[in-house]
Amino acid sequence: MGMSGTRIQVGEFAPGLTKSIDFSISIKPGQQISRPGPVLLLGAPGVGKGTQADTLATLWGVPKISTGDILRENVANRTELGAQADRVMKLGGLVPDEMMTGMVADRLRAPDTLAGFILDGFPRTVGQAQWLDQHLEVHRADARLAVVSMYMEPRRIVERVVHRRICPLCKTAYNTQSLPPKRLGRCDKDGAELIQRSDDSPEVFAKRLGVFKQETEPLLEYYHGHSLFIEVDAAKSPASVSIEIASGLMNFRARLAQ
């Protein structure tokens, strides 16, 4: 049976995207690809991983899994791992891999992850990536991890971050130049006054990029030979980046289903 181009209509995207966008994927007649499977977003701070994670999670109705959220939830709920991590952080230490992977494993056992999930901020090290590969092989033998690398020149990242503003209530991110709110300085969703993060100054952010280069770039080398590795130009508009990622993922899942 031959392949045919199919138009998929995407509605109700996140801020910055039009309400209805069409893009093409190639699938067999009658075949439906409705879920992305496990997806990992990689990229330097400031490239828009959080925005894309929110968009893709909304698009497919799957959870966004952020290690920051997981950590806060475990600490707030006083789970055994959360209590251990809280003690480490209060002493100024970094949460060790075995604690973090334990919390991620608990989160991946939740039923809402069965159709797929979007990983944002995990793994951060090659060791965590190796753990994730082993975990999926054992617990999700039929799930193929898709790796999306979002690239942008460091100069462009700094320019973007300097103009970034965050809603303190809903955490929606805006950019005063490329993605401004409808009302100057106010969140479109709840009207809260937007703020600039303390670590979004050029000096502080340059240090964050240095840490990324040292600690996280090895992940790109680890995953570059992955069976599904998509590299996208994160300097494009958020809408264009979302469409490029979604189209690439859906085409890949369609090929797997042949």
User: Count H helices, E strands: the chain?
Assistant: 9, 9
Q: What is the pLDDT of residue 71?
A: 85
Q: What is the pLDDT of residue 129?
A: 92
* 124, 140, 144, 236: the active-site residue: 124
**Is 183 one of the annotated active-site residues of the chain?**
no
CATH superfamily for 36-63+113-239 is P-loop containing nucleotide triphosphate hydrolases (3.40.50.300)
* 64, 107, 164, 165: the active-site residue: 164
Distance CA(159)–CA(115), nearest Å, equals 37
Q: What is the pLDDT of residue 217?
A: 79
Domain locations along the chain: 36-63+113-239, 64-109
Distance CA(114)–CA(101), nearest Å, equals 18
Residue with tokens 């100024």: 92
Q: What is the pLDDT of residue 258?
A: 64
Q: What is the DSSP letter of 86?
A: H
Tens-level pLDDT at each residue, the chain (258 residues): 223 333 333 333 333 333 334 444 444 444 444 567 899 999 888 888 988 998 888 888 899 998 888 888 888 888 888 888 888 877 777 778 888 898 899 999 999 998 889 998 889 888 899 999 999 988 887 778 899 999 888 888 888 888 889 999 988 888 888 789 999 999 999 999 999 887 777 777 777 788 778 877 788 889 887 778 888 999 888 888 988 898 888 777 777 666
Distance CA(15)–CA(179), nearest Å, equals 8
**Is 87 one of the annotated active-site residues of the chain?**
no
* 35, 144, 186, 197: the active-site residue: 197
* 28, 35, 208, 236: the active-site residue: 208
**Is 197 one of the annotated active-site residues of the chain?**
yes
Q: What is the pLDDT of residue 9?
A: 36
Give every CB contact of residue 186 below 8 A, 6+ residues apart in sequence. 192, 193, 194
186-205 residue pLDDT tens = 999 999 999 988 777 777 77
Q: What is the pLDDT of residue 88?
A: 80
